[in-house]
């Protein structure tokens, strides 16, 4: 069973992921959705690949700045 502090850190990290993805993925994926609207599977695949790419950038930025997202702020 995770400790309360771990759960709180996970919740903070999840909120930060959502905010980050809304900011970046919204701009990056809208065109892919419209282009691939006939193929929802492709659109979803593109969405998640873009989301993971953006998340990787975010994690790298935070590591460079000395902020570890797994711990929370």
Mean pLDDT of all residues in 3-14: 72
For position 15, what pLDDT does the model report?
Answer: 66
For position 21, what pLDDT does the model report?
Answer: 60
pLDDT digits (tens, 9 = 90+) for 47-58: 677 777 666 665
pTM equals 0.28
> Are 60 and 38 a contacting pair, CB within 8 Å?
no
For position 45, what pLDDT does the model report?
Answer: 67
pLDDT digits (tens, 9 = 90+) for 29-38: 555 555 545 5
In terms of Cβ atoms closer than 10 Å to its own Cβ (0-12, 13-18, 19+), residue 34 is: exposed
Return the percentage of the chain with pLDDT > 70, whole number. Answer: 12
Closest CA to 64 of 46, 54, 2, 56: 56
- Residue 67 CA to residue 47 CA, distance in Å, equals 26
């Amino acid at each position: 069973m995770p400790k309360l502090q771990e759960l709180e850190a996970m919740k903070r990290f999840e909120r930060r992921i959502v905010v980050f993805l809304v900011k970046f993925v919204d701009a990056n994926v809208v065109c892919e959705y419209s282009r691939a609207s006939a193929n929802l599977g492709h659109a979803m695949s593109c969405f998640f690949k873009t989301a993971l790419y953006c998340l990787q950038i975010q994690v790298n930025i935070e590591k460079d700045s000395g902020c570890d997202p797994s711990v929370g702020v």
